[in-house]
Structure 1
């Protein structure tokens, strides 16, 4: 598939942003097989593809010819798990480079509720500093921050060992960049309507600013519809939506300045990869004495999944483009002669919209009953018990009691609410704080975890709700379908938990290991490759051996 404007955007951003630096023209040495004695790579590249489920990887794997085909020729763990139950963007990204489940990262959801805060809505965004005056948790109105992350990242540990090690994080979303980048990143940024942005009060480096200008120019240009690749024609079926319109046959045309549609297109990933390559080039990452870390968060797959579902022509176009753009990115790294290792995974999986599922062998796929809304439930119970409102907060699986309730009132509310919820036909289970406090974190393989195991790995006593609801399989927690938001993720089921985990390095013999592993295993695996000590008692993951045969890469 040819997406010429993406190639142009990539080349332009690289040439403009890295002007005057020049690519290293190292002669390529003979490829040496990677063994336990092979020195550490000079550059670690961590790529997270938002909503890139194991199902998507398996479905399109035979069609990949570019960057994803290269990664699929390396060390492949097709049954990776975001093992926890809160399969959202922020918790998922928090596991990748910390080696910890959300119970320890403290990132239990994209948003959680703090009934003691002075904010009227009590909601806190996972990657904000809510103490900044005049801010709210609403998009565009919060102050981005890493404050809520409770544990160090791989980059933080690398900087602690050697301050000269460079750490750069660039993503489509702020929470992806922040949760993987940690506290010590040299540069940390994400896409914005103006191109790129970072923390308030932060000035972008000259290279990032030039890349930002190029991206802003691309956003402000209209884009014609993309050509549908021949192998995507079977996905080209319109699915009508309740509120009018349809999805499934989109070609991602957009008007000038339409940032939301820019994000939900291959252009967004091309912009992030262009910026990452430009920053690597300008900073000469991988060319010094230390091992450097380049973090890349690609968000277009997630925006497309939410906007149009996972099985339409839109996602087919995206998979082909992602494969191609990663191939271009790796080719630029190859040209430097740097010894680099790549790891790729996802923050969570995803599920298609129920309207298409009902056409394809799952007639019972549903949208959530509006009666399960915390506000609606709380209002009904408060009126019955004669309590002042509100008594409940929540906008996801976690439900929080208002701080104004006494212990006796909480007990009465629970006694009224729990039977109602547990009897609801769309509810699989309701788990209380007391149950989670008493349940240990599982040490078993993630494919054997119980529902309580999954929820426990997402539970943090200081931030989680007073009780948590798990919906039945294939109940989509969006009550109505409408253009822009038709499908989602976030459940305890494997279509949201399973993600691919891929590693590649020149000279590393490829193999496939089908047994279940976890995203929390990535950090200790990469740390071992660069001989960085990690206290096994402070993480939930383990090192994965990337060497086939009797030798081990886990040192």
Structure 2
């Protein structure tokens, strides 16, 4: 695989020479807690993608697969979006507890005209909107692993780097030493934070790289077999791309393997510059690799594009681990995803899924709300929200009007052939804690784990399987996730540490199990009530769960 990036973005070039010459960790099984914990989230890396490509992994993923492999991890809640998913990974808590019930929700009391609230913003900032916002951690209601570590040892350091602000914030939490995300031009942080030399260096390299055109990447025979153009609209097809990019095309850079290389380069550079794990305290490095999600949305989860992305990410992870090996630090890695993903229906129908379809535009809350308002003789939209998920009643409705709107909305949603279920907030709130493994939960139980009474909708709508909530696809947005179904809920969970005994556990676990597992590994107490449990990473007579 030809992977052309300038030296400024190459992971090994981003590493100080002294660190490159340090000895690699010993191969013997470690007896003490690791000095560095590395947590990686691959956005939209479904269990299905992992299963499809695991036989092709040769580098970073191959190393992780020599450790503890949980191929059936679950983002067990219903709101399988980026922000809720990332909020589970290092808190041990489901969205009902973290408060991150979606990427966006409606708050009619928000102090601005725009009542949509973005999960990682401070909506009280004057002049802000949900699309032009000030990044904030204020909506995350619980502490993260990094905060548990700092409570136990204030000298522990937490570094969070991601391609999306919501990924960096939700995994990093409220107390971070460095937190950087991509804003469309470069990596940025909260206002007033000093820019480390490594951030400036990587940003300069990215600017230089985007200014250059990218030649098509070479297809391996495995990827050639997946290369087939699939028409989506009369002017748009996907499936046979090779990530050729015109000079200056930032959007194409973001939805390509180059983006993850840059994110991992920054993580590797900060780890070495800050000498993470090289002192007397245990440190935490968090990396949110976001390109797989942008590739999935723009081009789908199959085709030559995703094949190239998987191979390139495998290589980039291998480079990251090589950098960390050269520091001589004893480090442990956990890798998972914030959610899965669903391919575009035009290709799904070719894969023996005749029910695959794009959502009926009439199911949009605004459209349905207008019809209900006309029938009931009520002024106003009556319903606010999206096509699926949380739907809110217009706050100007009287109690009697709300009851009439609810009855009519439930009737219309329930009668639509693309709707699996519609639940009221009363139904969801009355649902008890789920019992049994996450794949057996009812739809109501899944919805309950995404429910916050102060933020969730008055209704929650679940579309039927294989119905894609994109009525009108276009460049950059042909496929998505966010459903109640297991193709969006199932993600791999991988743990690795030098010298550990590898094994595979096929039974289901949850992403909320990651934080307590890592806390046990580094002997840090869990100071709050959580939903997850410690997973035993020792297949022998011992146990990592104390």
Settle same-fold status: TM greater than 0.5: yes
Alignment correspondent of 2:520: 528
Alignment correspondent of 2:185: 194
Alignment correspondent of 1:314: 305
Alignment correspondent of 2:65: 72
How far apart in 2 are the matches of 1:414 and 1:262? 45
Q: Does 1:512 align with 2:504?
A: yes
Alignment correspondent of 1:47: 40
How far apart in 1 are the matches of 2:454 and 2:403? 20
Tell me, which stretches of 5 or more residues in structure 2 are unaligned?
none
Residues 18-33 of structure 1 correspond to what in structure 2 (within 5 A)? 18=16, 22-23=18-19, 25-28=21-24, 30-33=26-29
Residues 438-477 of structure 1 correspond to what in structure 2 (within 5 A)? 438-477=430-469
Q: Is contact 2:88–2:512 with CA below 8 Å preserved after alignment? A: yes
Q: For 2:496, what is the secondary structure of its paired residue?
A: strand
Q: For 1:549, what is the secondary structure of its paired residue?
A: coil
How far apart in 1 are the matches of 2:76 and 2:428? 16
Q: Is contact 2:25–2:498 with CA below 8 Å preserved after alignment? A: no
Deviation at 1:29, TM superposition (A): 5.7
Alignment correspondent of 1:416: 408
Q: 1:374 aligns with which of 361, 365, 372?
A: 365
Deviation at 1:251, TM superposition (A): 1.0
TM-score calculated relative to the size of structure 1: 0.96
| Cα distance change of structure 1 residues 201 and 8 upon mapping to structure 2, 3 Å threshold | closer
Q: Is contact 1:115–1:400 with CA below 8 Å preserved after alignment? A: no
| Cα distance change of structure 1 residues 326 and 11 upon mapping to structure 2, 3 Å threshold | closer
How far apart in 2 are the matches of 1:519 and 1:545? 14
Deviation at 1:121, TM superposition (A): 3.9
Q: For each residue in 1:38-84, what CA deviation from the matched residue of structure 2 results, as whole angstroms up to 9, or x when unmatched? A: 21100000000000000000000000001001111110000000000
Q: Is contact 1:177–1:189 with CA below 8 Å preserved after alignment? A: yes
How far apart in 1 are the matches of 2:23 and 2:43? 35
Q: Does 1:330 align with 2:349?
A: no
Q: Is contact 1:6–1:270 with CA below 8 Å preserved after alignment? A: no
Q: For 1:358, what is the secondary structure of its paired residue?
A: helix
Alignment correspondent of 2:96: 103
Pairs aligned (count): 545
Alignment correspondent of 2:487: 495
How far apart in 2 are the matches of 1:99 and 1:336? 30
Deviation at 1:186, TM superposition (A): 0.4
Q: Does 1:260 align with 2:256?
A: no
Q: Is contact 1:390–1:402 with CA below 8 Å preserved after alignment? A: yes
Q: Is contact 2:111–2:123 with CA below 8 Å preserved after alignment? A: no
Q: For 2:19, what is the secondary structure of its paired residue?
A: coil
How far apart in 1 are the matches of 2:24 and 2:118? 47
How far apart in 1 are the matches of 2:237 and 2:451? 37
Alignment correspondent of 1:235: 226
Deviation at 1:550, TM superposition (A): 2.2
Alignment correspondent of 2:14: 14
Residues 58-457 of structure 1 correspond to what in structure 2 (within 5 A)? 58-138=51-131, 141-395=132-386, 396-457=388-449
Tell me, which stretches of 5 or more residues in structure 1 are unaligned?
none
Q: Which runs of 4+ in 1 moved over 4 A?
A: none
How far apart in 2 are the matches of 1:98 and 1:30? 31
How far apart in 1 are the matches of 2:217 and 2:68? 33
Q: Is contact 2:420–2:462 with CA below 8 Å preserved after alignment? A: yes
Greater alpha carbon shift after TM alignment, 197-206 vs 245-254: 197-206
How far apart in 2 are the matches of 1:419 and 1:544? 44
Deviation at 1:407, TM superposition (A): 1.6
Q: For each residue in 1:385-417, what CA deviation from the matched residue of structure 2 results, as whole angstroms up to 9, or x when unmatched? A: 222213221124100112111221110101111
How far apart in 2 are the matches of 1:541 and 1:11? 34
How far apart in 1 are the matches of 2:29 and 2:274? 28
Q: Is contact 2:8–2:205 with CA below 8 Å preserved after alignment? A: no
Q: Is contact 2:300–2:343 with CA below 8 Å preserved after alignment? A: yes
How far apart in 1 are the matches of 2:59 and 2:12? 21
